[in-house]
A and B are shown apart, each in its own frame.
Chain A
Amino acid sequence: MFPTPIQKASGPTRLAYQIALPIALVIWLFPLIGVAVTSLRPASDLAAGNYFGVPSSIAFENYASVFRDSPIGWYILNSFKVTIPTVIGAVGLSCLTGFALAVYGFRANLWVFFAFVAGNFIPFQILMVPVRDLTLKAGLYDSTLGLVLFHVAFQTGFCTLFMRNFIKGMPFALIESARVEGVSEWQIFRHIVLPLMRPAIAALSVLVFTFVWNDYFWATVLVQGQHAMPVTAGLYALNGQWVAAWHLVSAGSIVAALPPVLMFFLMQRHFIAGLTLGATKG
């Protein structure tokens, strides 16, 4: 283990470490803590200039007011309407493409690989004009479906690479053994590979959920009206309305950040496994 375990260090060092940990955390999360506190500060405190002191009362009222006086609840619903179908679509499609790339030797395998990796890293702006145009022409502009289709397609690139690497890590003899037994290619996918992909599916689902939930660019490019707007773009719009109403902006921010945060805490292991796949083995 590196660095040397703190347990082997002297008493004072150990104590110093134990004290340093929470202090470092508070400094690290300072902006977040500030926003969280502000979100619970009554409006009167801000008006009175009490920005940093102890709130005069805990104002859950801010949260109630955010939901009551703004369409944020609606925005969140939209975000779910975009995110959940995207997760299902992208993960589902990439199971298929990943299987194809991992199990069969394509003649153009290298180019396909190149296209998926490159497609994964390109700037969104190079896609913006044609994708917006395509969505308009398909009559999907300003709809959650328009967003879903794009996100599914784009995330499929990343997910395919992930799935391909995951399947490549399985013993190939499993597939060959099934082939000798007369199992068809689809059955091999359905009954052997798919059940073994569960950890990869979980990891990707959490990741894609977070990526898509947090997307802001496409939400502004493909959606204009309130009825389809996801919470990221919605929050930005609300920020314009709530000028200087920082208690409301803060409460709204916390609300918008909550679903991916919950997702992260519930599925932490999968999340990190997904993010770091390939980071440790060359």
Chain B
Amino acid sequence: MQHDPQPAGFWKRNQMKIAPYVFFAPGALMFSIYVLIPIVQSIWISFQDWDGLGPKTWIGLANYVELLDDDTFYVALKNNLLWLGLYLLAIPMGLAAALFLNQNVWGIRLYKSMFFFPFVISQVVVGLMFTWFYAPDFGLFSQMIKWLTGSEVAILADERYVTYGIIVAGLWPQTAYCMILYLTGLNNLNSEQIEAARMDNARGWRLLRHVILPQLAPATFIAMVVTVIGALRSFDLVSIMTAGGPYGSSQVLSYFMYEQALSEYGYRMGYGAAIAVVLFLIMMVFITLFIVRMIAQERNR
């Protein structure tokens, strides 16, 4: 008999039952403390009046009622929708960039990396770059507008254009992200299918539409997920470029919440939490859709 030399101890006999939890516990604990429980706490706090230090006072739905009366809330909501809609442009733009770069010429690897560059840079730096880019008098963009139209526009100081200006800054890295997703997708195309389609006389746009895009569906899905989430999470650029201004015209929910909770006129944690809950609920709609699809995929595997 070549059985294990040591007698089977408790651990050995029960390890199949215990091991999963031992492996799982540390990460799950951290994740619960810092992510799962705070979500519940935030919802709880949204029903309170709280300055972050003193005692909390239960005020029921008062924070939400106030929110519905707050003009800034509607501006932020409208801007969030604008972000969502325009941010999705990153997907076709990324696809176009990927199609443009999916060649095998000398130095193409370097080109791909350089095109991807904006995504690697911090949004703070992106924000500063575009602030400089838009700056009146000496910003490159302003100069181009002046050269084209003869009049100067201060994008970030103009209520009409400011949100668009920030979204363009956001599209820059986001397009790069989508591009890299599509480049990988293009790399893994089924070449026999494409050859078959070419023999069936499909080419150009129709080949792209009927053969390539369906094969790129997983990449498109991921691009959708990250773009929608990215649009609703937009905070850094707004904070860096305008701090919500001018006159709150470039507010988005994420920045609005931050501003209210840690406002210079006194902390309003309860009100901030209520804004966060609204943003959270909006995002959960999308997250749930994504997860339902992911789980369906997992099942089909």
Interface residues of A (CB under 8 A from B): 1-3, 5-7, 17-18, 21, 24-25, 28-32, 34-35, 38, 46, 49, 51-52, 93-94, 96-97, 99-101, 103-104, 106, 110, 112-119, 121-134, 149-150, 152-154, 156-157, 160, 182, 184-186, 189, 210, 213-214, 216-217, 220-221, 232-233, 235-236, 239, 246, 249-250, 253, 256-257, 260-261, 264-265, 268, 272, 275-276, 278-282
For A132, list chain B residues within 8 Å (CB).
Answer: 52
Within 6-64 of B, Cβ neighbours of A (below 8 Å) are at 12, 15-16, 19-21, 23-24, 26-28, 30-31, 33-39, 41-42, 45, 52
Task: Tell me the bound Cα distance from A109 to B143 in angstroms.
Answer: 57
Q: Chain B contacts of A216 at CB under 8 A?
A: 122-124, 235-236, 239-240
A130-B42 contact, Cβ under 8 Å, with A235-B124, A257-B122: yes
Q: Nearest Cβ in chain B — how far from A206, in angstroms?
A: 10
Closest 3 CB pairs of A and B: A153-B34, A97-B27, A130-B38
Verify B121–A118 contact, CB threshold 8 A: no
Tell me whether B189 is interfacial, beta carbon within 8 Å.
Answer: yes
Chain B nearest CB, measured from A121 CB (Å): 5
Q: Verify A160–B27 contact, CB threshold 8 A.
A: yes
CA–CA, A68 and B268, complex, Å: 39
Residue among A30, A265, A282 making CB contact with B297, cutoff 8 Å: A282
**How far, in whole Å, are A232 and B240 apart by their CA atoms in the complex?**
10
Which residues of chain A have C-beta atoms less than 8 A from B212's C-beta?
2
A2 vs B211: C-alpha distance when bound (angstroms)? 10
Q: Does B269 belong to the interface (CB within 8 Å)?
A: yes
Known A-B contacts: A97-B23, A152-B30, A279-B181. Give 9 more (CB < 8 A). Answer: A2-B99, A31-B133, A96-B23, A97-B28, A129-B45, A129-B276, A257-B125, A275-B180, A282-B218
CA–CA, A5 to B99, complex, Å? Answer: 11
Q: Is the CB of A153 within 8 A of B132?
A: no
- Please tell me if the beta carbons of A249 and B128 are within 8 angstroms of each other in the complex: yes
Q: Are B218 and A281 in contact (CB under 8 A)?
A: yes
Query: Could you tell me the distance in whole angstroms from the C-beta of B147 to the nearest C-beta in chain A?
Result: 11
Interface mask (B163-207 → A, CB under 8 Å = 1, otherwise 0): 000000000100001001100111111010010000000000001
Return chain B residues, CB-CB under 8 Å to A221. Answer: 258, 262
**Cβ-based interface call for B263 (8 A):** no
**B residues within 8 A CB of A24?**
100
| A214 adjacent to B121 (CB under 8 Å) | yes
- Interface SS of chain B: helix
Chain B residues with Cβ below 8 Å from A115 are: 31, 36
Q: Which residues of A contact B265 (CB under 8 A)?
A: none
CB distance from B13 to the nearest CB of A (A): 12
A280:B24 contact, CB within 8 angstroms:
no
| Interface flag for B88 (CB, 8 Å) | no
Interface centre among B31, B102, B291 (most CB of A within 10 A): B31
Chain B CB within 10 A, most for which of A52, A182, A264, A276: A276
Q: Is the CB of A29 within 8 A of B30?
A: no
Q: Which chain B residue lies CB-closest to A99?
A: B23
Instruction: Give the docked Cα–Cα distance between A46 and B138 (Å).
Output: 9
Q: Is the CB of A123 within 8 A of B279?
A: yes
A126–B280 touching, CB < 8 Å: yes
Contact A124 B254 (CB under 8 A): yes
Contact with A along B137-169 (1 / 0, CB 8 A): 010100100000000000000000000000000
Query: Which residues of chain B have C-beta atoms less than 8 A from A116's C-beta?
Result: 31
Q: How far is the CA of A150 from the CA of B30 in the complex (A)?
A: 8
Please state if B254 and A123 are interface contacts (CB–CB under 8 Å). yes
Q: Is B90 an interface residue (CB 8 A)?
A: no
CA distance A31 to B212 in the complex (A): 33
B295 in the interface (beta carbon within 8 A): yes
For residue A265, which residue of chain B has the nearest CB?
A: B113
With a cutoff of 8 Å between Cβ atoms, the chain A residues found around residue B24 in the complex are 96-97, 100-101, 106
Q: Please, could you name 13 A-B residue pairs with CB atoms under 8 Å apart, sorted by A?
A: A6-B104, A21-B108, A28-B115, A49-B138, A125-B254, A126-B277, A127-B39, A184-B15, A232-B124, A239-B128, A239-B240, A246-B138, A260-B122
Task: Say whether, besides A123-B276, A154-B34, A214 and B104 are in contact (CB < 8 Å).
Answer: no
Q: Is the CB of B185 within 8 A of A21?
A: no
The answer to whether B181 touches A126, judged by C-beta atoms less than 8 angstroms apart, is no
Contact A125 B124 (CB under 8 A): no
For residue B139, give the distance in angstroms from its CB to the closest CB of chain A: 8
Assembly CA distance A157 to B239 (angstroms) = 26
Shortest CB distance A152–B (Å): 6
Residue from B123, B219, B236, B283 within 8 A of A122 (CB atoms): B283
Given A130-B42, A154-B34, the answer on whether A7 and B104 have CB atoms closer than 8 Å is yes
Asked if B208 is an interface residue, CB under 8 A from chain A, the answer is yes
Query: Is A35 in contact with B129, judged by CB distance below 8 angstroms?
Result: yes
Chain A residues with CB under 8 A of B87: none
Closest Cβ of chain A: how far from B246's Cβ, in Å? Answer: 17
CB distance from A44 to the nearest CB of B (A): 14
